[in-house]
């Protein structure tokens, strides 16, 4: 543990001069390494500047009304999903293996390296707070649900997409039939055929060739499970 902390301090000192932070976590908002990291007297093994050693506490300390200048993207622990009960956001600080909800420990090396030491999914499992190469600060591209399916891979196999008597899941990777009986084009959240109403912000998202994705139906944050409203912070 001491060795790990020393290594982290050394890395922090070494890279702090070289490593750039991408906006909006960078110079424009006057954010530097010290806002999120402290080198001494910190709880946990990650040198993260939060009162309880939870990364989510660090994130939410800014991502709360008035938490940082100009902050518009708010979170609170009450947003965390408890399926069928409450919440508007994908769960965090929760075990990465969950058979009820079809999740397994990630396989992608970046994700796996950023589950917490007690095996939990947290904000920094999905997000890299330093780099915005996959907006918004994602650890990997999610344009075809790669991020989702790395953990939820058990819902992307033939046995859950065909009617075999197993516990089933809505098909993904399957093209929407080109017939109005299957609501193609689908109606967006205003109830207008998309994209012909010209408002692209509330359209369902599909993969190449109009294929269904997890994120055709699921939002990640600020989702109120009401298809009649546009979601957002
Ligand atoms: C917005 C908050 C934030 C800022 C700003 C920030 N970091 Fe981090 N950093 C984190 C979090 C969260 C982790 C992930 C810890 C984990 O998953 O174990 C982390 C991890 C790291 C790691 C370990 C490698 C890794 O990716 O897990 C290093 C090294 C690091 N940060 C260096 C820096 C340096 C140097 C700066 C300034 C240039 C900086 N950080 C700025 C939040 C931040
Ligand atoms: C020092 C304050 C601070 C901390 C700590 C912080 N953020 Fe942020 N973050 C910001 C600001 C400021 C913005 C821009 C907000 C806005 O546009 O309203 C932002 C925006 C973001 C965005 C949206 C990026 C975009 O391009 O739209 C993501 C994603 C994000 N933060 C994730 C995180 C995660 C995950 C953590 C914890 C590891 C974290 N933040 C910790 C200040 C912070
Ligand atoms: C056609 C729309 C649709 C698609 C596509 C879809 N879902 Fe769902 N999903 C739903 C709905 C609606 C519910 C709520 C069902 C309920 O409450 O019984 C749900 C519930 C869930 C739940 C919580 C309940 C449970 O059984 O665990 C998880 C986890 C989930 N979906 C993951 C996924 C993943 C991962 C994918 C992609 C492989 C996906 N979904 C694709 C519509 C969809
Ligand atoms: C399971 C993966 C996952 C976890 C865990 C997660 N996020 Fe996200 N987050 C995403 C994805 C994917 C997006 C982009 C899609 C979206 O905006 O709905 C996103 C978007 C965001 C945004 C931008 C929202 C906007 O409307 O512009 C912010 C800010 C953010 N996340 C912060 C957080 C914070 C803070 C936590 C922890 C409290 C967290 N995320 C946990 C996957 C995750
Ligand atoms: C790092 C692993 C991981 C990734 C990546 C991930 N999930 Fe999950 N997901 C989980 C776990 C674990 C649960 C069970 C959480 C709980 O309720 O305790 C879960 C639960 C869910 C639920 C049920 C609501 C909830 O939060 O409990 C939905 C819906 C869902 N995931 C969809 C997605 C989608 C869509 C993506 C892609 C943006 C995604 N997940 C990415 C691990 C992951």
What are 30-68's pLDDT values in tens digits? 999 989 987 655 545 567 777 788 999 999 999 999 999
91 in a structural domain: no
* CB atoms inside a 10 Å sphere around CB 189: 17
Q: What is the pLDDT of residues 159-179, one digit of tens each?
A: 666 655 556 678 888 888 887
Nearest Cα to 60, choosing from 142, 148, 9, 129? 129
pLDDT of residue 4: 47
191 in a structural domain: yes
* Segments forming the whole domain that contains residue 186: 170-217
Q: Which atom of ligand 2 is nearest to the CA of 23?
A: 26
195 in a structural domain: yes
Phi/psi for 120 (5° steps) reads: -100, 155
The tokens for 216 are 């055709």
The tokens for 2 are 């001491």
**Number of domains making up the chain:** 1
201 in a structural domain: yes
Average pLDDT of the residues of the chain: 84
Which residue is listed with tokens 């397994």? 104
pTM for the full model? 0.94
75 in a structural domain: no
As a whole number, mean pLDDT of residues 183-202 equals 82
127 in a structural domain: no
Q: Which of 118-122, 164-168, 181-185 has the lowest mean pLDDT?
A: 164-168
Nearest Cα to 79, choosing from 114, 123, 109? 123
**35, 60, 130: which to mutate for ligand 1, most atoms within 8 A of CB?**
130
Residue 8 pLDDT exceeds 60: no
Are the C-beta atoms of 210 and 176 separated by less than 8 Å?
yes
């Amino acid at each position: 543990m001491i060795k790990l902390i020393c290594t982290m301090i050394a890395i922090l000192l070494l890279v702090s001069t070289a490593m750039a932070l991408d906006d909006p976590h960078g110079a424009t908002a006057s954010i530097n390494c010290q806002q999120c990291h402290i080198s001494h007297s910190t709880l946990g093994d990650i040198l993260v500047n939060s009162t309880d050693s939870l990364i989510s506490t660090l994130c939410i300390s800014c991502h709360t009304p008035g938490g940082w200048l100009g902050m518009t993207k708010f979170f609170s622990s009450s947003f965390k999903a408890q399926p069928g009960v409450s919440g508007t956001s994908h769960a965090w600080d929760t075990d990465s293996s969950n058979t009820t909800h079809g999740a397994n420990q990630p396989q992608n090396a970046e994700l796996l390296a950023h589950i917490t030491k007690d095996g939990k999914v947290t904000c920094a499992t999905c997000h890299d707070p330093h780099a915005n190469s996959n907006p918004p600060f994602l650890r990997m591209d999610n344009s075809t649900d790669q991020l989702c399916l790395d953990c939820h891979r058990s819902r992307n196999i033939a046995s859950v997409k065909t009617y075999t008597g197993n516990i089933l899941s809505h098909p993904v990777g399957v093209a929407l039939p080109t017939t109005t009986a299957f609501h193609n084009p689908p109606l967006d959240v205003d109830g207008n055929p998309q994209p012909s109403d010209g408002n692209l912000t509330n359209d369902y998202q599909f993969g190449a060739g109009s294929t269904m994705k997890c994120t055709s139906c699921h939002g990640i944050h600020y989702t109120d499970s009401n298809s009649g409203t546009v979601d957002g912070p």
